[in-house]
Amino acid sequence: MTYRDRYDAGRRLAARLAHHAGDPSVLVLGLPRGGVPVAAEVANALGAPLDVYVVRKLGVPDQRELAMGAVGSGGVRLMNERVVRASDVAPEAIEEVIREEERELGRRERDLRGERPAPEVEGRTIVLVDDGIATGSTMRAAIAALRARGARKVVVGVPIAASETCAELAEEVDEVVCVATPDPVRAISLWYDDFEQTTDAEVRRLVEGAAAASPLDPS
């Protein structure tokens, strides 16, 4: 299976999430940047509000690919104490990484949503969308951050992911929908005819357009 582009992928994913249509608690969140066009199609099909959820992994200083925690929209800070202990990271080094990633998180949020506040997720069913999952580390960080902010349910939806990754994520969330699960996945881009990089401007246009059509309920 290949997709024409992210919008085509979003429509196909939306068909698999149709049972959530009409649920007023649903909020669709796209992971920036490529997840937002996919999420926009899902939100439109479900009649649900759309927003972007920014999360930054906290990498171990000398092994930045190894996540020792995450920071997310809404001031969420999460630490994996097992990784911290195993890596023997000094407290001041941890704080420096946190400060660095929180600065980047703030910059990305300003770029993508301007002055609009982070979406309220407490008590809601969150449909968390990306354009595909490779390692899953960013998705896992977002899941943990949304749980910490009080999401009632978390549903993960992606057009493409490894079956093993989908099975692992199913242990962490209420529902996982992976439209296609080839083995091996290799690169997500291989499953799209058009995988042009999503721009900040496109993300803003989609999110602002959705907010104008269906404003987020702050409660």
Q: What is the pLDDT of residues 129-171, one digit of tens each?
A: 999 998 787 898 899 889 989 999 999 999 999 999 999 999 9
Residues found in the chain: 219
Q: State which of 113, 128, 147 marks the end of a domain.
A: 113
Q: What is the pLDDT of residues 59-79, one digit of tens each?
A: 898 888 788 888 888 788 888
Q: Is 219 contained in some domain? A: no
Note whether 38 and 127 are same-domain residues: yes
Banded model confidence at residue 214, pLDDT cuts 50, 70, 90: low
pTM attached to this predicted model? 0.88
Q: State which of 89, 113, 137 marks the end of a domain.
A: 113
Mean pLDDT of the chain: 91
Q: Is 154 contained in some domain? A: yes
Note whether 96 and 143 are same-domain residues: no
- Give the CATH number, domain containing residue 15: 3.40.50.2020
Tokens 């104008």 sit at which residue? 212
Q: How far is CA 6 from CA 42, 52, 181, in A?
A: 11, 15, 16
Q: Is 20 left (phi over 0), alpha (psi -120 to 50) or beta?
A: alpha
Report, as an integer, the average pLDDT of 37-47. 97
pLDDT of residue 219: 37
Q: Which domain holds residue 99?
A: 56-113
CA atoms within 13 A of residue 215's CA, in its CB half-sphere: 5
200 C-beta neighbours (distance < 10 Å), count:
12
Q: How far is CA 44 from CA 9, 162, 211, 213, in A?
A: 13, 26, 11, 10
Q: Which residues pair with 147 in a beta bridge?
A: none
Banded model confidence at residue 28, pLDDT cuts 50, 70, 90: very high
* Res 7 pLDDT > 90: yes
* Res 114 pLDDT > 60: yes
Q: Is 1 contained in some domain? A: no
Note whether 44 and 125 are same-domain residues: yes
Between CA 30 and CA 206 the distance in angstroms is: 11
Report, as an integer, the average pLDDT of 98-127. 91
Q: Specify the number of domains making up the chain.
A: 2
Q: Report strand pairing: 55-60 vs 175-180.
A: unpaired
pLDDT of residue 23: 96
pLDDT of residue 136: 82
Of 117, 119, 116, the closest CA to residue 127 belongs to 119
Q: Decide which of 157 and 116 is more confident.
A: 157
Q: Is 131 contained in some domain? A: yes
Note whether 128 and 159 are same-domain residues: yes
pLDDT of residue 30: 97
Cis check for the bond before 32: say yes or no (omega within 30 of 0).
Answer: no
Note whether 106 and 130 are same-domain residues: no
